[in-house]
C-alpha cells in the first residue's frame, strides 16, 4: 500500500482552514512509490507517509503566507524602436502594502543578448509607492533584434520575489525617414522644395543623398532634419516623377525614403501635315494637326481648322482631335489662287499655305434631244466643242465656246441635223460619254432642210456624208460658187449706158415711164417682159400672167427673174454703146439677187 494526501483549502469569514486526509492506495502502474536516491525513505511504511505529510504541510503554509502579502512592480521602456547610438530610458514603480527591504534589479533580454544593467537597494514602508527613472542604457550592435526589460524585487529574507517585464521593442540599424514635397503639381522649370526628418535619438551628423532623374544631390542632416531645393529642367517629361533619399550616420545606421510629384504637360509646338499643298477643286485633301509639349511628347486635344482666302473670308472649316486626319474639300468652282490654312489647338496656332490650281474642264450630258456642256472647272472654258453624229448622214457640229465656271452651253440636235438614228460622241471633251443609237427628230425650218438636201449647211455644221442624197456634200459648195460666178459674169458683161439709164431715170426725162419703155421695146423689136412687180404679185403689170401660174414656187420665180435680167442686159448691149462695167456692189439689182440667194443659207 502507498499513501496519497489530498489537501482541501477552504475559506470562511476570510479565515483559512486546512483539512487533510490520507488515502491508502494499492500499488499500481499508475501510482508508483517514490524512489529516494539516498534511501532515506526506504521501507518507511506508514511512518514515511506521516513524514511526507509534514513536509508538504509546511510548504503550503509558506505559500499561503506569501500570498497574503501584496506587492506590485511595473516597468516600461520609452520607445518601441531604437537605432544604434540611441539610449534606452527605463522607468519602473514599486508598490507594497507591507514594509519591504530588499533589492530591485533590471535586466535587458534580447534575441541574442542578455544584460543585468541596474540594481537598486529598496526600503519601503507599507503602502508606499516608489517610482524610479533608470539612467539611460546605450544601444550596442549586439542588442540587434527584439528585446524587453525585466524587473525583479526580492526581499532580503527571500520571502518576497516579485517580477515584471516591459513591452517588447526593436533594436535596428534602419533609420526612419519622413519626406515631404511642398506641392503636388509643378510646371517645367519650376523649383521643387523637399524636406524631411530622420528618426534617431543622437545628434551626431548624418549624410543624406537625394536621387532624381539619374542625378544625386548631396546634403547634411542637421538636428535630424534636411531640406532640398532643385530646379526642374524646361524639357522635363510630364506626368508622375519620384525622388529617392538615402541616409547614413556614423553609428552604421542607414535609411531610405521616397517622395513623388507630378509635372504638368505644357503645349509648346503645333504642326500641320498636309496631304498636298496643290489642291484641285472638288478633290478631297487632309490635314493632320499635331501638338507637342515641352518634352516633345504628343498632346491630345481638340483641333480647329479654317481655310481663308486672300481677303480673310472663311472658305472651309472643320473640328476634330489632334493626331486625327481632318478631310476638307474645296467647292467645284473654287477660284484658283493661294489660301491660308490655320489650325488652332491647346492655345497654339499654325498657318500653312494652300494653292488651288487652275482647272479648265467641262462635262457633257445628253437627254436624247439637247447636248449640255457644263464648265466644271474654276476658270473660263474657252475651247472648241465638237459633236460628231454618225448615221445615214454624218455630221460634225463645231462650236467655239467660252463659258464661265458653273455655266452651261446647250445644243438642240433636233434643230441642227436631219431625222435619223445616230451614234453621238464628243471628241474634244475629255472623258465625255459616247451615246449610241439615239433617234433624233428633225425640227428644222424648211429652208434648212432644203439646204441640207443640197449639201449646204451652216457655219457650225459640216455634212461629212449624205447617203442617198441627190448632191454629194463635197460638191455642193463648188456648185453654188459656179452659179454665183456665172451670174456675176453676166451682170458685168451686159451692163452699159442703157443699164445706167434704166437704174437712174434722171438722165432722160420720161425714160422711166411705162410709155417710154413700151416705145423703146417696139423700136428694138425685143420681146416684152413683165416688170418685177408682176413677178412678185404686188404690182399693176400683167396680172393675167401672174394668175396663170399661181402655184409657182419661189425657185421658179427666181429663175424667171434671172432670165429677165439677162435678156434686158443683152438688149441694152445691142442698142447702146459699150460702157466700162462698174462694180457689182453699185448695182442694187445684183445686190438684191445675192441677198435673196443667201438669205437663211450661211455657208462656209
Which tens digits make up the pLDDT trace of 367-389?
Answer: 989 999 999 999 999 999 999 99
* Rounded-to-integer distance, Cα 178 and Cα 409, Å: 88
In this prediction, residue 500 carries a pLDDT of: 46
pLDDT of 297 higher than 80: yes
For 43, phi then psi, to 5°, come to 60, 40
pLDDT over threshold 90, residue 193: yes
Q: Is the pLDDT of residue 394 over 60?
A: yes
Asked, colleague to colleague, whether 176-263 and 267-356 share their fold, the answer is yes
Does residue 530 register a pLDDT over 50?
A: no
Q: What is the CATH number of domain 176-263?
A: 2.60.40.3880
Question: What's the DSSP call for residue 415?
Answer: G
Q: What is the spatial distance between Cα 96 and Cα 76, in angstroms, rounded to a whole number?
A: 19
Question: Exposed/middle/buried for 439, CB within 10 Å: 0-12, 13-18, 19+?
Answer: exposed
Residues 422/438, Cβ–Cβ less than 8 Å: yes
Dist CA 341 CA 360 (whole Å): 24
pLDDT value at residue 529: 38
- CATH for 267-356, options being 2.60.40.1930, 3.90.470.20, 3.40.50.1980, 1.10.260.40: 2.60.40.1930
Backbone angles phi and psi of 130, in degrees to 5: -110, 130
Contacts of residue 129, Cβ cutoff 8 Å, sequence gap at least 6: 93, 94, 95
pLDDT tens digits, 423-471? 999 999 998 999 999 999 888 887 666 666 555 555 556 656 544 444 4
Least confident of 163-172, 178-187, 478-487, 559-568: 478-487
Q: Which residue has the cell 499561503?
A: 64
Model pLDDT, residue 484: 78
1: Cα within 13 Å, side-chain hemisphere: 11
pLDDT single digits (tens) 302-333: 999 999 999 999 999 999 999 999 999 999 88
CA angle 73, 79, 82 (to 5 degrees): 125
Quick one: 478 exposed, middle or buried, by C-beta within 10 A (0-12, 13-18, 19+)? Answer: exposed
Inform me whether the pLDDT recorded for 34 exceeds 50. Answer: no
**Domain ranges, ordered by start, for the chain:** 2-67, 71-172, 176-263, 267-356, 362-443, 479-598
User: 74-96: per-residue pLDDT in tens?
Assistant: 999 998 989 888 889 999 999 98
Pairing of strands 100-110, 114-124: antiparallel
Grouping H, G, I as helix, E, B as strand and the rest as coil, residue 253 is: coil
Alpha-carbon torsion (47, 53, 54, 56), positive or negative: positive
- Annotation: CATH topology of 71-172: Immunoglobulin-like (2.60.40)
Lookup result for grid cell 467641262: 362
Q: Are 361 and 376 in contact (CB under 8 A)?
A: yes
- In the chain, what percentage of residues exceed pLDDT 90? 50
pTM (whole model) above 0.75: no
Q: What H or E segment, with its residue span, contains residue 548?
A: helix 543-548
pLDDT of residue 578: 52
pLDDT of residue 56: 61
Q: Which CATH architecture has domain 362-443?
A: Sandwich (2.60)
Mean pLDDT for the stretch of residues 24-40: 42
For residue 15, pLDDT over 60 is answered with: no
Best CA proximity match to 401, nearest among 448, 362, 458 = 362
At residue 366, what are phi and psi to the nearest 5 degrees? Answer: -145, 135
Q: Would you state the pLDDT for residue 513?
A: 44
Instruction: Render pLDDT for 496-528 as a digit per residue (tens, 0 to 9).
Output: 544 444 444 444 444 444 444 444 444 444 444
Pairing between strand 254-263 and 185-186? Answer: parallel
Amino acid at each position: 500500500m502507498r499513501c496519497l494526501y489530498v489537501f482541501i483549502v477552504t475559506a470562511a469569514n476570510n479565515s483559512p482552514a486546512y483539512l487533510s486526509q490520507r488515502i491508502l492506495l494499492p500499488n499500481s502502474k499508475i501510482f508508483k512509490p517514490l524512489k529516494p536516491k539516498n534511501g532515506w525513505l526506504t521501507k518507511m511504511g506508514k511512518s514515511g507517509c506521516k513524514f511526507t505529510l509534514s513536509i508538504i504541510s509546511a510548504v503550503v503554509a509558506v505559500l499561503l503566507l506569501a500570498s497574503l502579502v501584496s506587492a506590485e512592480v511595473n516597468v516600461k521602456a520609452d520607445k518601441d524602436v531604437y537605432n544604434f547610438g540611441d539610449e534606452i530610458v527605463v522607468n519602473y514603480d514599486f508598490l507594497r502594502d507591507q514594509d519591504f527591504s530588499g533589492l530591485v534589479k533590471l535586466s535587458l533580454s534580447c534575441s541574442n543578448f542578455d544584460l543585468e544593467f541596474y540594481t537598486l537597494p529598496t526600503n519601503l514602508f507599507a503602502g508606499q509607492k516608489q517610482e524610479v527613472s533608470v539612467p539611460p542604457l546605450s544601444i550596442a550592435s549586439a542588442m540587434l533584434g527584439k528585446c524587453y526589460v525585466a524587473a525583479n524585487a526580492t526581499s532580503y529574507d527571500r520571502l518576497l520575489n516579485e517580477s515584471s517585464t516591459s513591452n517588447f521593442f526593436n533594436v535596428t540599424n534602419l533609420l526612419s525617414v519622413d519626406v515631404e514635397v511642398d506641392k503636388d503639381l509643378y510646371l517645367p522649370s519650376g523649383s521643387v522644395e523637399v524636406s524631411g526628418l530622420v528618426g534617431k535619438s543622437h545628434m551626431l551628423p548624418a549624410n543624406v543623398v537625394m536621387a532624381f532623374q539619374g542625378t544625386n544631390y548631396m546634403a547634411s542632416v542637421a538636428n535630424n532634419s534636411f531640406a532640398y531645393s532643385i530646379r526642374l529642367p524646361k524639357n522635363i517629361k510630364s506626368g508622375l516623377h519620384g525622388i529617392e533619399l538615402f541616409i547614413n550616420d556614423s553609428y552604421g545606421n542607414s535609411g531610405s525614403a521616397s517622395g513623388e510629384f507630378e509635372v504638368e504637360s505644357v503645349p509648346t509646338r503645333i504642326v500641320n501635315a498636309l496631304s498636298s499643298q496643290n489642291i484641285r477643286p472638288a478633290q478631297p485633301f487632309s490635314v493632320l494637326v499635331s501638338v507637342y509639349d515641352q518634352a516633345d511628347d504628343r498632346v491630345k486635344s481638340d483641333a480647329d481648322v479654317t481655310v481663308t482666302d486672300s481677303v480673310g473670308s472663311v472658305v472651309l472649316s472643320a473640328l476634330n482631335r489632334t493626331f486625327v486626319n481632318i478631310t476638307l474639300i474645296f467647292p467645284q468652282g473654287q477660284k484658283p489662287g493661294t489660301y491660308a490654312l490655320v489650325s488652332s489647338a491647346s492655345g497654339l496656332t499654325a498657318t500653312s499655305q494652300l494653292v488651288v490650281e487652275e482647272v479648265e474642264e467641262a462635262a457633257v450630258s445628253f437627254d436624247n434631244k439637247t447636248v449640255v456642256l457644263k464648265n466644271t472647272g474654276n476658270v473660263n472654258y474657252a475651247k472648241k466643242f465638237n459633236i460628231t453624229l454618225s448615221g445615214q448622214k454624218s455630221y460634225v457640229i463645231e462650236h467655239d465656246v467660252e463659258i464661265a465656271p458653273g455655266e452651261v452651253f446647250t445644243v438642240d440636235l433636233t434643230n441642227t441635223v436631219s431625222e435619223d438614228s445616230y451614234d453621238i460622241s464628243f471628241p474634244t471633251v475629255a472623258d465625255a460619254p459616247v451615246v449610241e443609237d439615239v433617234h433624233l427628230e428633225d425640227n428644222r425650218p424648211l429652208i434648212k432642210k432644203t439646204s441640207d438636201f443640197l449639201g449646204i449647211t451652216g457655219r457650225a455644221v459640216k455634212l461629212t456624208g449624205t447617203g442617198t442624197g441627190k448632191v454629194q456634200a463635197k460638191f455642193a459648195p463648188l456648185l453654188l460658187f459656179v452659179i454665183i460666178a456665172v451670174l456675176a459674169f453676166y451682170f458685168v458683161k451686159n451692163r452699159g449706158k442703157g443699164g445706167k439709164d434704166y437704174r437712174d431715170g434722171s438722165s432722160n426725162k420720161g425714160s422711166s415711164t411705162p410709155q417710154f419703155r413700151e416705145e423703146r421695146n417696139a423700136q428694138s423689136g425685143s420681146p416684152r417682159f413683165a416688170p418685177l412687180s408682176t413677178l412678185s404679185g404686188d404690182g399693176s403689170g400683167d396680172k393675167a400672167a401672174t394668175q396663170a401660174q399661181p402655184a409657182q414656187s419661189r425657185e421658179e420665180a427666181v429663175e424667171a427673174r434671172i432670165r429677165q435680167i439677162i435678156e434686158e442686159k443683152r438688149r441694152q448691149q445691142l442698142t447702146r454703146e459699150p460702157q466700162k462695167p462698174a462694180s457689182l456692189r453699185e448695182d442694187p439689182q445684183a445686190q438684191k439677187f445675192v441677198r435673196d440667194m443667201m438669205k437663211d443659207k450661211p455657208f462656209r
